[in-house]
Amino acid sequence: MSSSVNSDLMRSSRKRLAKDRIARIAISAGGSLVLVALLLIFFYLLTVVAPLFSRASITPTLSSPYLSLAPTVHLGMDESNQYGYRVSADGVVEFYHLSGAHQTRLVSRADAKISAFAASNPQQSWLGFGFSDGYLQLLRPEFIVDYSDGVRTIAPRLTPQLDGSQMQLDKQRQPITQLALEVNDQQITVVWQDSALGWHLTRYYADVDFIAETRQWQRVDRALPQLPPQLDKVLLTPDQRQMFVLASGRVSVWQMADIDNVARLQILTTNQATADIQLLPGGSSLLLQSASAQLSQWFAVRSDHGRLYQQIRQFELPFAATAIATEYFRKTVAVADNAGALQLLYTTSERQLLTEQFNTPINAMAFSPAGTGLMLDQGQTINLFAVDNPHPEISFSALWDKVWYEGYPEPAYVWQSTSGSEDFEAKLSLMPLLFGTIKAALYAMLFAVPIAISGAIYTAYFMTAKVRGVVKPTIEIMEALPTVILGFLAGLWLAPIVETHLAGVLLLLLLMPITILLVALGWRRLPERIQQLPLLNYRELLLLPLLLLVGWGCLAISPVIEQTLLGGDGRAFVTNQLGIDFDQRNALVVGLAMGFAVVPTIFSIAEDAIYSVPRHLVNGSLALGATQWQTLTRVVLLTASPGIFSATMMGFGRAVGETMIVLMATGNTAIMKWNLFEGMRTLAANIAIEMPESALGSSHYRLLFLTALVLFVFTFVINTIAELVRQRLRDKYANL
């Protein structure tokens, strides 16, 4: 009998050990898989984000000798990077194709020679040829795509702007010696110098007949005696409202919006003589290239004397640049010297993208319209390169430091990823998004933590078991409420209430805790025989009608308060009298809605921690003469502090990662203000808003993944710190 019992016990022990081993393996495997999943998510995000910070590269695609030995005056490329074209000083336009099938076009006039040349901004790509008989010819290289016979072919051509007979600049038929121009559909502006070294301004205005679909050009001429005879370079802005003049190493800015009132606006003061000037895309920024190894960016900033140009940033180059080129739409700049050194820079992000050394000097450069091609004139040889430079605007400083953008009065943190204008420069600072995330989480925690922890303390320590059995599951069920519903209610129901009953809502936030405290004090003063009544075992539930009455009363009295104290309109009072901006969907609405969503998480974990405090500690403290309050504050809360802290950090983590509530209950404006009555944009909401409209593989697309990575790392760090603090608290109070 004894051996049979022992045998059964041994079999039972072996089964139990086997089950324990299986459970241990399963739990370890599950934990390891969770860790592996987190690592896979992290590394996937990292692989998508890493190309943002890669350097640019160039790959040669064509090398061809000049078709004409005359010096180069201009270079350009087509959108497909199949053709590059070179304009020589003798009026030959050479088209270089990657296949080696090159072509030439001759720009000429009978009995006249080319005496001056100018090109418009790269987006328009007009070429202006001034002739010795005083005429100007405007041509634009175009590349016609044809799909005849199912084969895609590209044919270059030169398209004229106006008939040559209409472009006689000098009525005396004297040579045009120097030239600057800008062209658009409505206006043509030409600044030119005659053979007597006198400067003139000629402007053509388009008179469009939309019915007949014809266009007539009206011409206006003005002399410019203000300009000195000897000028090194003249540039016009694309809007034809300003002119930049380089003369004797000094740069001056001229206002020319009114053709009858051309006047010098400003002289740019620099420490060194300027050797060359170039406009960045959009025409808002001017690059000054000094005779030494310096390149500076200038643009207009509002001042006491109007909008004046100011040096914004400066680049120290490793060489004295002799050639400079800019992209069509982005702020990438290529600089080179006569020793063959080439460098690519991006002005706004202040990144050095590429450094390359060639064996031959670089005389001139040009980008393709998309910035994916680069054409170099090197020692009577034309070289075409494919450029891999997808994310030049991204750098650590552009993401996390203040950046001075064109048109802004000072450096700022700005997130503005898209716009309807081609001249728009994406502003991709992550600081406003991180700030908005923290702002939304903190306001939600200010609302949720006092309510959740106080409720957890009362439920676990003071509430009767029967009532606790109803209250705790009810609050935990609230956690399953979809946040999209809370966001919907917050944006469409709560936000209008807060706006129209602002005084009442603020009064409610003040009176609600005061009411609870007063009821608690009144309860303590009731006779003991009343406190022992069976009905009062549900005293917590009896408080609900009173709180609802207080809430209704605050909202009902709100119009009276606003009429008496706030001039009849609380929002207008806050905006006009206090000078505080007010948005209908603001941080107050988010704090209330997201706080409501976070309360169940904090309450459930904190309540479990407090309720799990060993009863012998509580009974021992009470037996030694401590009051319930003393026992709570000096024994229970200290013992449960690791769990309470974990509950708070879990709630904070959920608030940081919340998407739908902040998406629907705020204006989603990326601003950095703690104002309670203004909204914000969070990291999570930004991903939800902009991911559908981002182009696959673009800087915007990868930056959204970087946003997700920042959110991932941020929550990981917060949770790690929380766990370390929790462990220290547990070790500290484990001996109680």
Reported as a single tens digit per residue, the pLDDT across 86-135 is 999 989 999 999 988 888 888 888 888 999 999 999 888 899 999 998 99
Query: What is the rounded distance in angstroms from the CA atom of residue 626 to the CA atom of residue 628?
Result: 7
Q: Which two tokens stand for residue 578?
A: 């206090």
Q: Are 629 and 618 in contact (CB under 8 A)?
A: no
Query: What is the rounded distance in angstroms from the CA atom of residue 561 to the CA atom of residue 578?
Result: 17
**pLDDT tens-digit readout, 180-225:** 999 988 899 999 999 888 999 999 988 877 676 677 888 899 999 9
Query: What is the rounded distance in angstroms from the CA atom of residue 287 to the CA atom of residue 348?
Result: 12
Query: What is the rounded distance in angstroms from the CA atom of residue 608 to the CA atom of residue 629?
Result: 19
Name the residue among 90, 94, 140, 93 with its Cα closest to residue 115.
90
Q: What angle do CA 406, 409, 410 make, to 5 degrees?
A: 90
Quote the pLDDT of residue 536: 66
Q: Are 316 and 361 in contact (CB under 8 A)?
A: no
| Diameter of the chain measured on Cα atoms | 134
Name the residue among 702, 710, 719, 713 with its Cα closest to residue 682.
710
Query: What is the rounded distance in angstroms from the CA atom of residue 244 to the CA atom of residue 278?
Result: 9
Residues 6+ apart with CB under 8 A from 106: 91, 92, 93
Quote the pLDDT of residue 734: 63
Quote the pLDDT of residue 171: 84
Which DSSP letter does residue 567 get? T
Task: For the chain, give the number of residues.
Answer: 736
539 phi-psi bin (left φ>0, alpha ψ -120 to 50, beta other): alpha
Name the residue among 71, 54, 123, 61 with its Cα closest to residue 96.
61
Q: Which residues of 124-153 are buried (b: 16+ CB within 10 A; e: fewer)?
A: ebbbbbbbbbbbbbbbbbebeeeeeeeeee
Query: What is the rounded distance in angstroms from the CA atom of residue 4 to the CA atom of residue 455?
Result: 56
Q: Sheet containing 351-357: which strands, arranged edge to edge?
A: 323-326, 332-336, 341-346, 351-357
Name the residue among 223, 119, 107 with its Cα closest to residue 181.
119
**pLDDT tens-digit readout, 310-369:** 999 999 888 888 899 999 989 999 999 888 899 999 999 999 999 999 989 999 999 999
Name the residue among 582, 602, 588 with its Cα closest to residue 655.
602
Quote the pLDDT of residue 682: 93
Domains and CATH numbers, the chain: 57-400 (2.130.10.10), 444-678 (1.10.3720)
Name the residue among 80, 79, 84 with its Cα closest to residue 97.
84
**pLDDT tens-digit readout, 432-463:** 999 999 999 999 999 999 999 999 998 888 88
Q: Which two tokens stand for residue 498?
A: 């807060």
Q: Are 686 and 26 in contact (CB under 8 A)?
A: no
Q: Which residues pair with 246 in a beta bridge?
A: 233, 251
Positive or negative, the Cα torsion across 424, 428, 432, 438?
positive
Q: Are 274 and 246 in contact (CB under 8 A)?
A: yes
**φ, ψ of residue 551 in degrees (nearest 5):** -60, -45
CA 350 to chain centre: 16
Q: Are 281 and 423 in contact (CB under 8 A)?
A: yes
End-to-end CA distance of the chain: 48
Query: What is the rounded distance in angstroms from the CA atom of residue 368 to the CA atom of residue 96?
Result: 13
**φ, ψ of residue 465 in degrees (nearest 5):** -60, -35
Q: Sheet containing 364-367: which strands, arranged edge to edge?
A: 57-65, 381-388, 373-377, 364-367
Quote the pLDDT of residue 164: 47
Give pLDDT < 70 ranges for the chain.
1-6, 8-9, 162-166, 210, 212-213, 419-423, 531, 535-537, 733-736
Query: What is the rounded distance in angstroms from the CA atom of residue 62 to the CA atom of residue 115?
Result: 31
Query: What is the rounded distance in angstroms from the CA atom of residue 83 to the CA atom of residue 373?
Result: 10
Number of helices (H) and strands (E), helices first, in the chain?
17, 30
**φ, ψ of residue 501 in degrees (nearest 5):** -125, 50
Q: Which residues pair with 145 in a beta bridge?
A: 154
**Helix, strand or coil, per DSSP, at residue 213:** coil
Name the residue among 643, 693, 682 with its Cα closest to residue 660.
682
DSSP 3-state percent helix, strand, coil across the chain (nearest 5): 40, 25, 30
Name the residue among 245, 299, 481, 491 with its Cα closest to residue 407.
299
